[in-house]
Amino acid sequence: MENEVAITVKDLHITYRILKSYSIKKSLLQLKKVQSETFEALRGVSFEVKKGEILGIVGKNGSGKSTMLKAIAGIFSPDQGSIDLHGHSISLLSIGVGFQKNLTGRENILLSGMLLGFSEKHVRSKMEEIIDFAGLGHFIDLPVKTYSSGMYSKLAFAITAILEADIMLIDEVLSVGDTNFKRKSYKKMKELISNADRTVVIVSHHSDQIKELCTRAVWIHDGLLRKIGDTDEVVNAYEAFMAK
């Protein structure tokens, strides 16, 4: 259906508790309560994403963009509010999220695919295609803890791209890796999001990527939804604000 909703975010609040590092050891020795401060990463954010839509999220560092993506992925639980995925499968493509570092790349493909909700048989049927796309050579059978950030991102991208969940969440990974892989991943991403049934949410500092790939955009500032709507309008407003 043309107006079918894929993601509903309603009145989302997420607060971090920040421990004061100097007090942790002292509190253990003296059995005192650890001192902490709170930081509101998201403050009452609400929006909907339609099925097949490509939504870009922009904002300065620390604005709550990645927190939003991880909340949609189910990694962070909201303190208040709700997120409804309306029964769709979802995958998060983000550096440093999702792999067991002591397992090999091959083992992580299987684990990641099953955590995304795919059957072991289906993941195994796609295994060689994922390995070929990632292009890691013999490293695929070495522990992920031996990987560089570029290798890590290649494997993460390959898993998400080849297994093709209903909703793809992409956090600042299209700019990671060598030149050839950037080109290959960008081409694959454009191919994936051209599917009218696939919903994509992208966080990026690259305004040109957001403008080229996204059908709509959200600007989050200090945990608040500042603006949502036409991609060019939102990105231009964000850039003008940051230029002040």
CA distance 155 to 181: 11
Query: Residue 190: exposed, middle, or buried by beta-carbon count in 10 A (0-12, 13-18, 19+)?
Result: exposed
Number of residues assigned to the chain = 244
Q: Which fold has domain 54-76+89-243?
A: Rossmann fold (3.40.50)
Please state the pTM of the whole predicted model.
Answer: 0.80
Predicted confidence pLDDT, tens digits, the chain (244 residues):
567 999 999 999 999 877 665 555 665 566 555 566 788 999 999 999 999 999 999 999 989 998 999 999 888 899 999 999 999 988 887 665 668 999 999 999 999 888 877 899 999 999 999 999 999 999 999 999 999 888 888 898 888 888 878 898 888 766 556 788 878 877 887 887 777 888 999 998 888 889 988 999 999 999 999 999 999 999 999 999 999 8
CA distances from 213 to 127, 132, 231 (A): 28, 25, 9
